[in-house]
Amino acid sequence: MQVNMTINGQEADEEIEPRMLLVHFIRDRLGLTGTHWGCDTSNCGTCVVLIDGEPVKSCTTLAAMVSGHDVTTVEGLEVDGVLDPVQEGFMQCHGLQCGFCTPGMMLTARALINKNPDPTDGVIREAISGQICRCTGYATIVRSIHWAADHDAAVSVGSAS
């Protein structure tokens, strides 16, 4: 079947098997390997992308379901050579170690800050609670997201507006 969607501002028009998962479409077909895969059961969140600005687990989404929609992956966070404050925050606050969960965490953070520019610790923890990080123990991720919120210059990459 044919699917057509916008990924990081670019049109993607591809012939696929109907059963193809979005995560495999993004990684194997489009070669955007920043989106990761880490479980079979929608538990880990390493595969999170934004669909029309909302964080979604791309391992549990068929590529076909996203036809006509707007997808942002980690590769779309940096715009014209300028990092998203979320990316900067993760570097500044050591919010990543192996970096495997990081793209998903950052996209969730971006969606959160778009909605809530000044989230509390509790709100941040809740927002990332569908995602697992085995390395950081989360505290530095929480700090990173605060850093991003504090430095967010009305950037709204991936927001639906």
Partner 1 sequence: MTTTEPSPEAVEEERPIGFGRLLRKEDPRLIRGMGKFVDDIQLPGMLHLAILRSPMAHARIVSIDTSAAQALPKVVAVITGADLAEKGLAWMPTLSNDVQAVLATDKVRFQHQEVAFVVAEDRYSARDALELIDVEYERLDPVIDVRTALDADVPVIRDDLEGKTDNHIFDWETGDEAATDAVFDSADVVVSEEIIYPRVHPAPMETCGCIADFERVAGKLTLWCTSQAPHAHRTVYALVTGLPEHKIRLIAPDIGGGFGNKVPIYPGYVCAIVASLVIGKPVKWMEDRTENLVSTGFARDYVMKADIAATKEGKILAVRTDVLADHGAFNGVAAPVKYPAGFFGVFTGSYDLEAAYAKMTAVYTNKAPGGVAYACSFRITEAVYLVERIVDCLAYELGMDPAELRLKNLLKPEQFPYSTKTGWVYDSGNYEPALRKAMEMAGYDELRREQAEKRERGELMGIGVSFFTEAVGAGPRKDMDILGLGMADGCELRIHPTGKAVIRLSVKSQGQGHETTFAQIVAEEIGIPPEDIEVLEGDTDNTPFGLGTYGSRSTPVSGAAAALVTRKVRDKAQIIASGMLEVSVADLEWNKGSFSVKGDPSKSVTIQDIAMRAHGAGDLPEGIEGGLEAQICYNPENLTYPFGAYICVVDVDPGTAVVKVRRFIAVDDCGTQINPMIIEGQVHGGLTDGVGMATMQMIAFDEDGNCLSGSLMDYLIPTALEVPDWETGYTVTPSPHHPIGAKGIGESATVGSPPAVVNAIVDALKPYGVRHADMPLTPSRVWEAMQGNHTPPI
Site for partner 1 (CB under 8 A): which residue of 7, 22, 74, 148?
A: 74
Query: Which of partner 1, ligand FES, none binds 59 (CB below 5-8 Å, type-dependent)?
Result: ligand FES
Contact 24, 38 (CB under 8 A): no
- Mask 78-117, x = binds partner 1 (CB under 8 A)? x----x---x--xxx-x-xxxxxxxx--x-----------
Which secondary structure element, helix H or strand E, spans residue 110, and what is its range? Answer: helix 102-115
Ramachandran class of 5: left when φ > 0, alpha when ψ lies in -120 to 50, beta otherwise: beta
Nearer to partner 1, 29 or 161 (CB): 29
**Tokens 């964080």 belong to which residue?**
55
Question: Degrees (nearest 5) of the Cα angle 152, 135, 78?
Answer: 30
Query: Which of partner 1, ligand FES, none binds 123 (CB below 5-8 Å, type-dependent)?
Result: none
Nearer to ligand FES, 8 or 131 (CB): 131
State both tokens at 74. 């980690």
Query: Which of partner 1, ligand FES, none binds 151 (CB below 5-8 Å, type-dependent)?
Result: none
